[in-house]
């Protein structure tokens, strides 16, 4: 029997049947293994149907020493940008050009890097790695998605509209920043993690020599806007030709460093204190100083009338002494006191 089994051809394995929906009736003989009947599971199509050509990838990470508000802002940007990637925090001792190697390892061609200094100042780098250009900003007035005033909501992964102030088309450095913002913040079409529709707007407005970032939801009923968040203000410092360094293309003349701002505040407070001390010293000198006597006024004795002169009398006789008058009531008081003492002793 064993020899016969070896000589015979191997039996054909039964074909695997497709999984059927639970509770559905068994398929009839018409439905073969190749054709997928209505009772079988069907794989849903991808979210974005199309070829992903513009393969922009943005690396969003920070240095060590950031506070909780910066960390929440970084997480909000990652959720709003489906084409972003994350990485561990970078050590402060490392040079900034090391970020180009990190982007190369992560297969990213754009980078948003948050740099914290003195645990209170936040700087943002936007860079096109590894060729450049790159821009450095001071981040101010940060508000995150979790705040109660941000009442809007949008679908995660949807593509945003980018709205720019007309100032971005007038000056060359703003035009360069506009192209950098478009390449970093706009979600590429047909990205695998993106949704194929638009329901929110990123606005970049130039006011007071700063760039104000806002994110609004588009409501379908009346096309009104509701703010989602996050919101922050970018104060431009410098634009470099290379990535995280190189020749300076533009330097903001209106920029004032946070250290200088804090120094001016301290100087203003010190000037007020110094002025108060000077006023006190002047008052002390006035009190200690000798009073200046005024000269006699000739009109002061106008209304004074001279008194009559009396003759001087000289007394040659000694005046008589006054008689000493004894108090008659005293002996009576003494007698009464003695009588009272005697009465008490007898009792």
Sorted by where each begins, the domain ranges of the chain are 58-260
**Better-scored residue on pLDDT, 204 or 9:** 204
For residue 252, whether the previous peptide bond is cis, meaning omega lies within 30 degrees of 0, is no
pLDDT for 326: 64
Q: Which of 27-36, 86-95, 106-115 has the lowest mean pLDDT?
A: 27-36
- Kindly state the tokens that stand for 197: 């529709």
- Residue 98 phi/psi, 5-degree rounding, is -65, -25
- Residue environment code for 175-192, b if the CB has 16+ CB neighbours within 10 A, otherwise e: ebbbebbebbbbbbebbe
Q: Which CATH architecture has domain 58-260?
A: 3-Layer(aba) Sandwich (3.40)
240 SS3 class: strand
pLDDT for 14: 52
pLDDT for 31: 45
Q: How far is CA 163 from the centre of its chain?
A: 24
List pLDDT tens digits, range 239-271: 999 999 999 999 999 999 999 999 999 999 999
- Kindly state the tokens that stand for 108: 């990213």
Mean pLDDT of 204-231: 92
Q: How confident is the model at residue 12 (pLDDT cuts 50, 70, 90)?
A: low
The terminus-to-terminus CA distance of the chain in angstroms comes to 157
List pLDDT tens digits, range 322-341: 777 666 666 777 888 888 88
Largest CA distance in the chain: 185
Q: Which of 181-195, 223-237, 252-266, 305-319 has the lowest mean pLDDT?
A: 305-319
Q: How confident is the model at residue 45 (pLDDT cuts 50, 70, 90)?
A: low
Report H helices in the chain: 2-7, 68-80, 98-105, 172-185, 258-288, 329-346
Q: Is the pLDDT of residue 17 over 60?
A: no
Q: Mean pLDDT: which of 25-29, 75-79, 287-291 is highest?
A: 75-79
pTM: 0.67
Q: Is the pLDDT of residue 20 over 80?
A: no
Task: Report the mean per-residue pLDDT for the chain.
Answer: 84
Nearest of 88, 97, 39 to residue 59 by alpha carbon: 88
Mean pLDDT of 171-176: 95
- Residue 111 phi/psi, 5-degree rounding, is -150, 140
Q: Which of 49-63, 68-82, 312-326 has the lowest mean pLDDT?
A: 312-326
CA–CA gap between residue 60 and residue 51 (Å, rounded): 25
């Amino acid at each position: 029997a064993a020899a016969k089994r070896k000589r015979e051809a191997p039996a054909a394995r039964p074909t695997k049947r497709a999984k059927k929906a639970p509770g559905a009736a068994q398929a009839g003989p018409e439905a073969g293994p190749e054709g997928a009947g209505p009772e079988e599971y069907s794989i849903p199509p991808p979210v974005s149907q199309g070829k992903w050509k513009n393969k922009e990838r943005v690396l969003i990470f920070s240095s060590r020493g950031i506070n909780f508000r910066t960390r929440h802002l970084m997480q909000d940007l990652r959720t709003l940008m489906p084409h972003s990637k994350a990485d561990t925090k970078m050590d402060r001792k490392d040079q900034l050009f090391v970020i180009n190697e990190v982007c190369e390892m992560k297969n990213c061609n754009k980078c948003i890097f948050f740099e914290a200094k003195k645990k209170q100042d936040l700087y943002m780098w936007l860079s096109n790695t590894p060729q450049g250009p790159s821009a450095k900003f001071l981040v101010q007035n940060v508000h995150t998605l979790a705040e109660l005033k941000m009442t809007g909501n949008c679908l995660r992964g949807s593509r945003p509209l980018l709205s720019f102030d007309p100032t971005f088309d007038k000056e060359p450095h703003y035009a360069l920043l506009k192209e950098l913002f478009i390449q970093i913040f706009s979600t590429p079409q047909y990205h695998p993690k993106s949704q194929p529709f638009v329901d929110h707007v990123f606005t970049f407005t130039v006011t007071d020599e700063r760039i104000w970032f806002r994110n609004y939801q588009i409501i379908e009923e009346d096309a009104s806007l509701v703010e989602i968040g996050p919101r922050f203000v970018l104060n431009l410092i410098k634009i470099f030709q290379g990535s995280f360094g190189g020749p300076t293309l533009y330097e903001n003349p209106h920029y004032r460093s946070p250290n200088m701002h804090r120094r001016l505040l301290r100087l203003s407070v010190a000037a007020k204190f110094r002025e108060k001390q000077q006023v006190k010293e002047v008052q002390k000198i006035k009190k200690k100083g000798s009073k200046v006597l005024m000269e006699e006024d000739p009109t002061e004795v106008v209304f004074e009338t001279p008194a009559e002169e009396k003759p001087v009398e000289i007394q040659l006789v000694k005046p008589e002494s006054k008689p000493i008058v004894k108090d008659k009531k005293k002996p009576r008081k003494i007698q009464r006191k003695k009588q009272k003492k005697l009465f008490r002793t007898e009792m």
